[in-house]
């Protein structure tokens, strides 16, 4: 018997659909299975040059002298660019905007470092040569003299007066405050005040495809960049950095070999654009694994302190939360990631009296930015551990404590935003725990524990970014359907979901739908594949466009059959009378009739997320996100108290996905995100010493293999209440968020002591057990 029994779900109203929810073969799957999908690094052109990026070997230093003359003189080297050659170009590291949002000052990053370097691996020069081998030789001929400067490698140190300043005026690159209710009165009311501090480390994205791209100048003078990216709209900041008009940069996105936020900031495309412009030849740049690890962002390390007042009943009366993140050498998305952490810092619990202070702090460490969850997983590790610590102090069952405090639909978040959709927390927690089944018995020094965590996580972008997405849907003369949308497909099935939606609305089998995506020149802009927004945003845009086309088709059939539109439907490539399906017309014939009439069988639709003004800077009050996903994760672990080794025996994930568009894809997101979270919890240890990554390979930075964890049991629930198409909620990022605290909770259940820092290594387990003995 499991510790908990799930109650029946609240009633839902989900209409039966023909294609939505089915585990259909994704439109991108077969090309990938037979090796015909062409990724960014697979593309080559005649007279193509090969590029390398020359990088800093100091974390904090002045560049006293930079001499590229020997590299330039090497036969076969076509071009070496330093900052001086590119007019000290800068790149916006602010939120990639579609809306002309005002940029924060001081957030720009030099494309190539000049005068000083701020992190190990910072780009200094670009080399293009006839062969990769020559480019590599030229790298060794680059001459640079550094004068080391004092660096700062700990965000807490970097906040102290007198600490080395990474970029003037000071090291605070982002700050958020949340003030809600009366915190002092809340604490006065508490029976117990519990205080804990939590630490989480860097995490490396480790997508299998290192950053890659090819650029050339086309016959119209447009710099065309075929690149693996999460953000087509970067063409704007690239145009600014290169010094050309925005319509002279074209991004042709490829299928992305994994992104997870690591390809959200600009990667190779800016270097390719500059080299193509300066050489007027096609150029290819593909990172090695080591360069990928040195070259892109990481998940933010955090220190999070919770001080929570509770009644004996378990009710939280007040909370004070202090959040500090390490932004590394440049801000990139740190202020926004910090906002997410602050907004979600209470977890899915009602806290009426709240004070949150959050700061993102510059150091000379590797820069940090987006990573699946975007500040949510760090917050979750802290709030769920804190909840368990409170339960232990009150001698309450962890679920009972949570049930007293779980938010419900109609409650407000930390920033006072009302939760308007289903908040299935107990529903998912009990189901995840139930799926673990009975606890495996202890065996000598092997102690077994079970634990769970609950979470909430936003999907869709911050409302004051005024997010929009466009999609185009058309019916061809043979009754097939074409979708055009600028979505980058990261492998989560972004493109397929749009096809499945169009197939549903227009009543054609999925294999009759074809999609063109990710090209700033030929597909309407759909916005970034980030923030768990594509299904929500572009799914809704595609639904709108397909519905417009459907309307034209049905109106034409209505005239043909002299039937009201309500009595007509589209399915299996036919239009038919619902009350008498033997009266039908093939979609291909209908398309031809419409064409003869001059009826428009195409539609370009734009979906606008709800817009809202920014939150109040003093109180942090106001709505921030379109909606939230809720769920829970449960694990059973065996801890060898002799060696400190933790083995995950069982894992189960339950999330309310609103409505599954493709069940296999949704389950894949949940299982895959969960395993990334287990890696974060137990294995992934990016060792950074004085700003230098000491683990720049996949044999040193270990990510989960198939031998490390059992297959996750996935319980995808459907409340149908999401703001995405057909009631879908987002699941891409949320799937990762609750895994790490669930493991920590299970470990505490096994050994009777809580570990406050990730990853949960054998050394930390042994130290915790030793601490318990003392």
Residues found near other proteins in the complex (CB under 8 A): 23, 25-26, 28-39, 41-42, 205-210, 255-260, 286, 288-289, 490-493, 664-665, 667-668, 671-676, 697-699, 703-707, 709, 711-712
Q: How far is the CB of 288 from other proteins (least distance, A)?
A: 7
Nearer to other proteins, 27 or 609 (CB): 27
Nearer to other proteins, 623 or 677 (CB): 677
Whose CA is closest to 737, among 298, 194, 200? 200
Nearer to other proteins, 30 or 156 (CB): 30
Q: How far is the CB of 190 from other proteins (least distance, A)?
A: 41
Nearer to other proteins, 242 or 661 (CB): 661
Q: How far is the CB of 633 from other proteins (least distance, A)?
A: 12
* Residues 716 and 663: beta-carbon distance below 8 Å: yes
CA distance linking residue 375 with residue 530, whole number of Å? 13
CA distance linking residue 626 with residue 516, whole number of Å? 27
Nearer to other proteins, 413 or 500 (CB): 500
Nearer to other proteins, 124 or 256 (CB): 256
Q: How far is the CB of 206 from other proteins (least distance, A)?
A: 6
Nearer to other proteins, 40 or 554 (CB): 40
Nearer to other proteins, 401 or 652 (CB): 652
Q: How far is the CB of 712 from other proteins (least distance, A)?
A: 6
b/e code 221-242 from CB counts within 10 Å (16+ = b) = ebbbbbbbbbbbbbbbbbbbbb
Nearer to other proteins, 256 or 750 (CB): 256
* CA R_g for the chain: 27
Q: How far is the CB of 662 from other proteins (least distance, A)?
A: 9
**Residue 479 CA from chain centroid, whole number:** 36
Q: How far is the CB of 497 from other proteins (least distance, A)?
A: 13
Q: What ranges in 460-533 are assigned the alpha helix state H?
A: 494-506
Whose CA is closest to 625, among 460, 468, 469? 460
Q: How far is the CB of 24 from other proteins (least distance, A)?
A: 9
Whose CA is closest to 722, among 539, 525, 500, 504? 539
| 3 state DSSP class of 97 | coil
Q: Tokens in use for 454? A: 């609950």
> In degrees to the nearest 10, what's the CA dihedral of 393, 399, 405, 410?
170
CA distance linking residue 495 with residue 483, whole number of Å? 9
Nearer to other proteins, 40 or 394 (CB): 40
Q: How far is the CB of 671 from other proteins (least distance, A)?
A: 4
* Residues 297 and 136: beta-carbon distance below 8 Å: no
Axis-axis angle for helices 534-561, 587-597 (nearest 10): 80
Q: How far is the CB of 699 from other proteins (least distance, A)?
A: 5
Helices and strands, counts by H and E, the chain: 18, 30
DSSP assignment, residue 176? Answer: E
Q: How far is the CB of 435 from other proteins (least distance, A)?
A: 14
First to last CA, the chain: 35
Q: How far is the CB of 29 from other proteins (least distance, A)?
A: 4
Nearer to other proteins, 325 or 712 (CB): 712
Q: How far is the CB of 132 from other proteins (least distance, A)?
A: 9
Nearer to other proteins, 25 or 608 (CB): 25
How many other β-carbons are positioned within 10 Å of the β-carbon of residue 56? 22
DSSP assignment, residue 662? Answer: S
How many other β-carbons are positioned within 10 Å of the β-carbon of residue 166? 26
CA distance linking residue 147 with residue 125, whole number of Å? 18
User: On the CB side of 157, how many CA atoms lie within 13 Å of its CA?
Assistant: 13
DSSP assignment, residue 521? Answer: T
Q: What ranges in 492-631 are assigned the alpha helix state H?
A: 494-506, 534-561, 587-597
Q: CB neighbours of 582 closer than 8 A, spacing ≥ 6?
A: none
Supply φ then ψ for residue 392, to 5 degrees.
-60, -45
């Amino acid at each position: 018997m499991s510790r908990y029994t799930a109650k029946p779900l609240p009633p839902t109203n989900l209409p039966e659909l023909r294609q939505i929810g089915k585990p259909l073969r994704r439109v991108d799957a077969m090309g990938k299975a037979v090796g015909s999908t062409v990724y960014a690094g697979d593309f080559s052109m005649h007279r193509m040059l090969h590029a390398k990026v020359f990088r800093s070997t100091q974390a904090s230093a002045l560049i006293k002298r930079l001499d590229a003359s020997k590299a330039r003189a090497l036969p076969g080297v076509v071009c070496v660019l330093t900052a001086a050659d590119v007019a000290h170009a800068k790149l916006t590291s602010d939120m990639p905007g579609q809306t002309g949002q005002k940029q924060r000052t001081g957030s720009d990053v030099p494309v190539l470092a000049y005068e000083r370097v701020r992190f190990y691996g910072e780009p200094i020069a670009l080399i293009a040569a006839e062969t990769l081998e020559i480019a590599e030789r030229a790298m060794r001929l680059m001459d640079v003299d550094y004068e080391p400067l004092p660096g700062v490698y700990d965000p807490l140190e970097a906040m102290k007066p007198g600490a080395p300043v990474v970029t003037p005026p000071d090291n605070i690159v982002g700050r958020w405050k949340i003030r809600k209710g009366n915190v002092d009165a809340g604490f006065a009311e508490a029976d117990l005040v519990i205080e804990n501090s939590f630490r989480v480390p860097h995490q490396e994205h480790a997508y299998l495809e290192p950053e890659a791209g090819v650029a050339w100048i086309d016959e119209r003078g447009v710099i065309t960049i075929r690149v693996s990216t999460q953000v087509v709209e970067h063409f704007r900041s690239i145009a600014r950095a290169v010094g050309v008009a925005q319509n002279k940069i074209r991004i042709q996105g490829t299928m992305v070999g994994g992104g997870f936020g690591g390809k959200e900031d600009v990667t190779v495309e800016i270097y390719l654009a500059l080299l193509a412009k300066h050489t007027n030849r096609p150029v290819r740049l593909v990172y090695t694994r080591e360069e990928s690890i040195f070259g892109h962002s990481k998940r933010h390390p955090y220190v999070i302190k919770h001080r929570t007042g509770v009644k004996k009943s378990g009710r939280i009366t007040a909370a004070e939360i202090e959040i500090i993140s390490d932004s590394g050498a440049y801000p990139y998305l740190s202020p926004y990631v910090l906002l997410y952490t602050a907004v979600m810092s209470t977890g899915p619990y009602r806290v009426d009296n709240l004070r949150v202070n959050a700061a993102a702090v510059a150091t000379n460490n590797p820069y940090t930015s987006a990573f699946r969850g975007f500040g949510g997983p760090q917050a979750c590790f802290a709030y769920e551990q804190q909840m368990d610590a409170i339960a232990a102090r009150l001698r309450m069952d962890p679920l009972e404590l949570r049930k007293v405090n779980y938010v419900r639909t109609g409650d407000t978040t930390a920033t006072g935003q009302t939760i308007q959709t289903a908040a299935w927390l107990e529903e998912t927690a009990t189901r995840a725990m139930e799926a673990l089944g009975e606890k495996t018995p202890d065996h000598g020094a092997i102690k077994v524990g079970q634990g769970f965590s609950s979470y909430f996580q936003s999907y869709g972008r911050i409302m004051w970014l005024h997010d929009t997405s466009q999609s185009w849907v058309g019916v061809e003369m043979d009754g097939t359907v074409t979708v055009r949308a600028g979505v980058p497909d990261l492998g989560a099935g972004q493109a397929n979901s749009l096809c499945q939606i169009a197939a549903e609305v227009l009543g054609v089998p999925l294999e009759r739908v074809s999609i063109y995506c990710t090209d700033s020149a030929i597909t309407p802009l759909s916005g970034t594949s980030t923030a768990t927004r594509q299904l929500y945003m572009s799914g809704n845009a595609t639904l709108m466009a397909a519905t417009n086309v459907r309307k034209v088709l049905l109106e034409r059939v209505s005239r043909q059959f002299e039937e009201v539109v309500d009595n007509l439907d589209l399915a299996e490539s036919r239009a038919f009378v619902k009350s008498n399906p033997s009266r039908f017309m093939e979609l291909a014939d209908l398309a031809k009739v419409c064409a003869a009439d001059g009826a428009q069988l195409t539609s370009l639709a734009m979906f606008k997320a709800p817009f809202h003004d920014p939150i109040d800077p003093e109180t942090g009050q106001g709505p921030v996100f379109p909606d939230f996903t809720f769920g829970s994760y449960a694990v059973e672990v065996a801890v060898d108290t002799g060696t400190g080794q933790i083995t995950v025996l069982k894992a189960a994930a339950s999330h309310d996905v609103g409505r599954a568009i493709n069940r296999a894809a949704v389950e894949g997101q949940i299982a895959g995100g969960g395993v990334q979270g287990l890696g974060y919890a137990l294995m992934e240890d990016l060792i950074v010493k004085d700003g230098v990554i000491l683990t720049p390979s996949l044999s040193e930075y270990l990510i989960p293999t198939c031998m490390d964890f059992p297959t996750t049991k996935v319980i995808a629930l459907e409340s149908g209440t999401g703001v995405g198409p057909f009631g879908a909620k987002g699941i891409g990022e949320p799937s990762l968020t609750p895994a790490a605290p669930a493991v920590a909770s299970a470990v505490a259940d096994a050994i009777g002591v809580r570990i406050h820092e990730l990853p949960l290594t054998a050394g930390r387990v042994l130290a915790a057990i030793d601490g318990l003995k003392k």
